[in-house]
Amino acid sequence: MEYERGRKDGVPSNVGPKPTFTGHAMQDTLLDDGDKGEVRVYSVVFEPRARTYWHSHAAGQTLLVNSGEGMVENSDGDKRVVRAGDVVWSPPGEVHWHGAGPGSFLSHTAVSLGLTSWSGEVSDEHYRDAFEGA
């Protein structure tokens, strides 16, 4: 077992624009197993309307929602408004996005397993429609 309070392994916080996010998000890498590439744990805070691009995780991902309100949606259109305490599992290879709601920040911890494959942006129109139907 390895345990370290607030472990970040020296990876700096990422507060700038990210090529795979729309809008502004801040990300801390809490755990990174390096070349093994099996598990990454991130703490992410999205500003209102900020979200990831469409993507999938080779071995799946668990999201633990810490505060705020947001959404997780997969490419089949299955979507869920998420709030503090919610836990969302995205199965291996399932294409999805996650981000904040239009009127709230979202803070989540992401446990990502295997490589992440990125696709295109979640358009403003798609984002708007997703919340209107939620």
**CB nearest Mn ion: which residue?**
61
The binder of Mn ion chosen from 21, 45, 61, 69 (CB under 5 A): 61
Binding of Mn ion at residue 56 (CB under 5 A)? Answer: no
User: Closer to Mn ion at the Cβ: 10 or 92?
Assistant: 92
- To Mn ion, the closest distance from the beta carbon of 98 in angstroms equals 6
Instruction: Kindly list the distances between the CA atom of residue 10 and the CA atoms of 6, 82, 100, in Å, as whole numbers in the listed order.
Output: 11, 30, 27
Q: 24-37 burial, b for 16+ CB within 10 Å, e for fewer? A: bbbbbbbebeeeee
Are the CB atoms for 21 and 88 separated by under 8 Å?
A: no
Closest approach, Cβ 30 to Mn ion, in A, equals 15
User: Site size for Mn ion, by CB under 5 A?
Assistant: 1
What residues make contact with Mn ion under the rule CB under 5 A?
61
